[in-house]
Structure 1
Amino acid sequence: MKKVLLLLANGFEAVEASVFTDVIGWNKLEGDGTTDLVTVGIREKLKCTFNFTVIPEISISEVKIDEFHALAIPGGFEEAGFYEDAFSEDFFNLIREFDKAGKIIASICVGALPIGKSGVLAGRNATTYHLGNGQRQKQLADFGANVLGDEPIVIDKNIITSYNPSTAFDVAFTLLELLTSKENCNHVKKLMGF
């Protein structure tokens, strides 16, 4: 079984988290059956950007990295407190461990920012939220990433980043393809109506 760890910060965006749970879940039930997903956070209860509450399955202190094949990180809103958790040493250390082990790290929108701030994107290609005044892409560049601002999804070695919530399903399907196969991913897409 290939396990994905869904790393949730308080203030995460529910739609960006749900694509990972749905795509990995559809594969588990209707695809090749080889994937599973576990939610993790640093709090006992997490409130998403628009007040949906989630109880993570495990605490970040309980993670055994060897049990997981990939890390998934949805973005969130500053106004909802996203960066309080996302910019914590617990998040950074977990990201660094996954990268050091060469495991896939898939992020959506500003989920790239904790990856960048952890230091693992220094000198690597990436993207993040691109609309508005460009503040988030500048922030990612300040963390040392080579920001490809016009690319909706950027893959550099083991790290997937994207530039807004509209890319969420594409990121989740890219992750599924990397964990299984293109044929299996296309099968799951078809079953889901894509």
Structure 2
Amino acid sequence: MTVNFGILCFPRVQQLDLTGPFEVFASARGATAHLVWKDLTPVRSATGLMLQPTVTFADAPAFDVLCVPGGSGVNPLLEDEETLDFIRRQSAGARFVTSVCTGALVLGAAGLLKGKRATTHWDSHQFLANFGAIPEQGRVVRDGNVFTAGGVTSGIDFGLAVVAELFGREEAETIQLYMEYAPQPPFDAGTPETAPAAIVEKARQSLAPSRQAKVEILERLGLS
């Protein structure tokens, strides 16, 4: 039986949030991975990579796994009822409801994180509680059928964890080996706790406009 994965593919998505888990999901035997959006017009990611949605909201099959990536394009989705309604409908029948990075905030805006332990990108972790979630640090956090992954690269870890649940550990480990996923980064600057203070401040300043936009959205939604 085919397992249908649906990954939201929206303007200014963070491409690795999407392509990391897509690579894992699409490599699983018996899996079909879909990129879903309102229409089939090519989408430009936050860093400029063009992505092609493969199915529309109207034509999407029932997904076994729904995944919402993050990126700078997340902010408009927090107030996009068409997208939020689609997520709610798909989530009602999905085996797993999932996110990568700030995609967790979209799940929150859809009302799917209330009372759930969840994580997201370190710069947006503070917003999880606004949606009724229980913030938890971690590369991958699972609460029932909800999986949330931390920032960007954690989407690969998350993808492997989901494949292990659906297809077994052997399949997940085989995919990990295909991908030669054995991270050995050249610098120990991947979290605010390990990065030099000056680097953390530089990153925070770069992300400040998007963070402030989220604050203003939450105020409009009465969630501040």
Please name the residue that 1:35 is paired with. 31
Give the CA deviation at 1:89: 1.6
Aligned pair 1:154/2:155, yes or no? no
Does structure 1 retain, via aligned residues, the 8 Å contact 2:17–2:153?
no
Does structure 2 retain, via aligned residues, the 8 Å contact 1:99–1:158?
no
Does structure 2 retain, via aligned residues, the 8 Å contact 1:6–1:17?
yes
Give the CA deviation at 1:76: 0.5
**AA of the residue aligned to 1:184:** E
> What secondary structure is seen at the aligned counterpart in 1 of 2:122?
coil
> What secondary structure is seen at the aligned counterpart in 2 of 1:62?
coil
CA distance in 2, matches of 1:99, 1:127: 18
Does structure 2 retain, via aligned residues, the 8 Å contact 1:76–1:82?
yes
Task: Say which structure, 1 or 2, has more relative contact order (CA 8 Å, 6+ apart).
Answer: 1
Give the CA deviation at 1:98: 3.2
Does structure 1 retain, via aligned residues, the 8 Å contact 2:100–2:120?
yes
Does structure 1 retain, via aligned residues, the 8 Å contact 2:66–2:94?
no
The RMSD of aligned alpha carbons is 1.7
CA distance in 1, matches of 2:66, 2:168: 18
CA distance in 1, matches of 2:82, 2:161: 26
Gaps of 5+ in 2: 182-224
Please name the residue that 2:218 is paired with. none
What are the equivalent positions in structure 2 for 1:148-187 lying under 5 Å apart? 148=136, 150-187=137-174
**AA of the residue aligned to 2:52:** I
Please name the residue that 2:58 is paired with. 61
Give the CA deviation at 1:138: 2.4
Q: Specify which of 83, 103, 121 is matched with residue 129 of structure 1.
A: 121
Please name the residue that 2:204 is paired with. none
| Runs of at least 4 residues off by over 6 Å | none
**AA of the residue aligned to 2:126:** K
Identical amino acids, percent of aligned pairs: 21
Q: TM-score, normalised by structure 1?
A: 0.85
Which one is further off, 170-179 or 89-98? 89-98
Gaps of 5+ in 1: 28-32
Which one is further off, 87-96 or 156-165? 87-96
Does structure 2 retain, via aligned residues, the 8 Å contact 1:10–1:85?
no
CA distance in 1, matches of 2:27, 2:150: 25
Structure with the greater alpha carbon radius of gyration: 2
